[in-house]
Amino acid sequence: MKLHEKLLALWKKLRKDDLVAILCGLFIVAVAIGNAVSGAAGRQAGVADSEVPAGALTLTGTAMGRNADITVQIAATNDHIYQIKILEDEETEGIGSKAILSLPRIIYDAQSLKVDAVSGATLSSDGIKAAIFNALKSGGLDPANFGGSIIKVEQIAAQVETHSGVTVLHAADWAEKYPEIYESWNMTRESDEIVDYLVQYPMLPTLYEPYGFSFCYGSARGHYYDVVDIEETGRPHALANCWTCKTPDFTNMVNEEGVEAYQYAWTDVQQHIVEGISCYNCHANTPGQITVTHTYWIDALGDDFNSVDAANMSCGQCHNEYYFDPVTKETKIAHNSIESMDPSTMLAFFNDGSNFSDGKVFADYTNPRTGVQQIKVQHPEFETYLGEGSQHRATYTCADCHMPTATKDNGMTYRSHNLISPLDNPELIENECSKCHVDLVTEVHETQERIEARTYSIGYELEFLTEQLATAVEGGAVSETRLNEVRSLARDAQFYWDFVFVENSEGAHNPKLTDALLDKAEELTNKAINLLRADS
């Protein structure tokens, strides 16, 4: 019997149920093959490998998605993207996967990263776009040619005009014309609680010895109290530079008289101070126009000034890690671009004496018992929120989260100037945050509790290191070479720890960066402790 005759005979002997099972099985296999082909097509877009021009670069980039890093591979030149392939992701099936399967084609067809996020998959969409952005940048290609921006930009801030003869118009001067905004600004007085950090964090007197923060360190209150708090603090203020970021009156004084104003006596300037942070700081007497009034902040962003939204620039000019120049005493920033505001790059800047006119590595104070030249970090919310690893920097600004939109009696809207936590804004959480977060409040609190626990733990390790180093210095048995090695490690470790400790979101602004900094602090601390133990 021929083969086709044998098969026909076998087919006739099959029962009806057997035939149904076989057909169902074939259907399932066909669907699986179809899904595999569709999935592969969705995860990539562009021309075939053989059609990629010889001059195109093949580049890889990674960025944080909703659940974990998303890795993409692209083939591109400076004016065209030929391929987009998503190599790795852990996005949720049916949610983030929607962006994985559709966004590569959307970006490729538009030849632009400036496309809308896939509905219901905002964080995954942002991760894909950021990964492509990073891939382009890794090959020296300009992401701006494809509308690329890792930071939300809707409005560009103006820059203050110096030596213009302007005098400050204070908040009360605008009260009649903008009563609702004025009243919301006044509501910052409701944030009046002060936490004594020296009680809450017992390791601080040791870590900050003998700096002013080692004997007086209270949490900041609302902007309404800026002047009162600095006048009543137990920390001494010799020079006027301590008024930086506290009042528009001193900001304008610097703009009109020059950086020499930073060297004025603190008490001489005090008599000219009217109020804390208010309208001039962010608007320079021009309502509705956001203006950066701190010239050191204009320098700090350099050519990237227009790559950051005006709202972020406005808040960032005070919420940053600044320092006082050792010679001129003027306020300065340890970066001059978005890329160089990375904490490790900033630390390298402080550690390079050639960056300072006195030729020495920068130090805010020197611990008298250990000899460690310490850096006291300030409040780097800008560098943290817009830093590498941030999930929301391309989507939201400081104002989007902290200045709720309010409605006047006539139906017109305005930005409330009573700065609040987004966790205290149910409308924002329901209308925006819930698109990606099932329970944002719980999620943030869990992150903050975890970061707080790590901060405490590593803070005590740093305290232990400080005491062990002080004992070694006093004992005289450890060589100066080894002591200097430990001092260097201790300095860097405390910088990374302090960068986290003084950032006001307790890790919520950028958990990935925060954990990375604590990892570095812990690693360096343990390395220093082990070096001392090896010599004991």
Beta strand 158-159 with 81-88 is unpaired
Q: Which of 275, 59, 246 is nearest to 182 (CA)?
A: 275
pLDDT value for 489: 98
CATH 3.50.50.60: does it fit domain 440-534?
A: no
Pick the CATH number of 44-146 from 3.40.50.2300, 1.20.1250.20, 3.40.50.10440, 3.90.1010.20: 3.90.1010.20
44-146 and 158-333+397-431, same CATH topology? no
Structure tokens at 236: 């001494």
Q: What distance in Å separates the CA atoms of residue 136 and residue 238, rounded to the nearest whole number?
A: 48
Q: Domain residues of the chain, as ranges?
A: 3-42, 44-146, 158-333+397-431, 440-534
For residue 266, the surrounding DSSP H or E stretch is helix 266-270
Q: Which of 275, 53, 316 is nearest to 185 (CA)?
A: 275
Helix, strand or coil for residue 173? Answer: helix
pLDDT value for 39: 45
Distance of CA 273 to the CA centre of its chain: 32
For residue 74, the surrounding DSSP H or E stretch is strand 69-76
Q: What is the CA radius of gyration of the chain?
A: 29
Residues of the chain with pLDDT under 70: 1-42, 536
Alpha-carbon separation of residue 21 from 12, 17, 18, 412, 525 (angstroms): 15, 6, 5, 66, 65
Q: Which of 335, 454, 312, 317 is nearest to 386 (CA)?
A: 312
Cα atoms found within 13 Å of the Cα of residue 158, Cβ hemisphere only: 15
Q: What distance in Å separates the CA atoms of residue 168 and residue 278, rounded to the nearest whole number?
A: 10
pLDDT value for 5: 56
pLDDT value for 41: 53
Distance of CA 143 to the CA centre of its chain: 20
At the topology level of CATH, where does 158-333+397-431 sit?
A: Flavocytochrome C3; Chain A, domain 2 (1.10.1130)
Q: Is 397 exposed, middle or buried (0-12, 13-18, 19+ CB in 10 A)?
A: buried
Q: Which of 277, 278, 313, 284 is nearest to 181 (CA)?
A: 278
pLDDT tens, position by position, 272-306: 999 999 999 999 999 989 999 999 999 999 999 99
Whether 328 and 262 have beta carbons less than 8 Å apart is answered as: yes
Q: Residue 257: what residue type?
A: E
End-to-end CA distance of the chain: 92
pLDDT value for 27: 47
Q: Which of 455, 463, 472 is nearest to 531 (CA)?
A: 472
